[in-house]
Amino acid sequence: MTAITPAQRRDLRARAHHLNPVVSIAGNGLTEPVLAEVERSLQAHELIKIKVHGAEREVREELLAQVCQTLDAAPVQHIGTILVIWRKRREDDTAKAAPEQSASERPSGGKRPSVAKSASSFAAAARRTAMMQAAADRRRPPSRGPGSAPRKVTPRGK
């Protein structure tokens, strides 16, 4: 089980506040497929919430300890039926196994991707966002600020 400091735990609890549970443990308990899903979620997100259905507090505490022990994770919080756990993302074995390709083996004719191309696509995305925001601003009715006069309401039919 990974150990974390109280300051790290406080930071992780704050980061987990807005998360939704990604794994549920129900009537069958902690099975191999559930553990595999927790493992995948930890690898993808590092910090996850687990929802436990139909278990008493002591059982939930045991589940939290068992998951953390099995997957070498750190328990962050147990509040109600929600368990929060954290584990640093592990290195991908596939990334280490793939050697760097030489220039002659690269599919793009030996050239590396241009940084300018990614910068121009970023600029284009920023322009699109600005245009969409301007269009949304034109559709909004003008706001009535604190110094404006109240609107005059007339009854229907007059």
Kindly state whether residue 140 falls inside one of the protein's structural domains.
no
Q: Whole-angstrom Cα distance, residue 38 to residue 23?
A: 7
What is the domain range of residue 68? 6-86
Kindly state whether residue 13 falls inside one of the protein's structural domains.
yes
Domain count, the chain: 1
* pLDDT number for residue 51: 96
Q: pLDDT tens digits for 93-115?
A: 544 444 454 445 545 555 555 54
Kindly state whether residue 126 falls inside one of the protein's structural domains.
no
Mean pLDDT of the residues in the chain? 80
Helix, strand and coil content of the chain, in percent to the nearest 5, comes to: 45, 15, 45
Whether 118 shows a pLDDT value over 70: the answer reads no
Kindly state whether residue 137 falls inside one of the protein's structural domains.
no
Q: Whole-angstrom Cα distance, residue 21 to residue 45?
A: 12
Kindly state whether residue 67 falls inside one of the protein's structural domains.
yes
Provide the CATH number for the domain around residue 78: 3.30.110.60
Of the two residues 143 and 126, the one the predictor is more confident about is 126
Kindly state whether residue 118 falls inside one of the protein's structural domains.
no
**pTM above threshold 0.75:** no
Q: pLDDT tens digits for 9-43?
A: 999 999 999 999 999 999 888 999 999 999 999 99
C-alpha torsion sign, points 77, 78, 82, 83:
positive
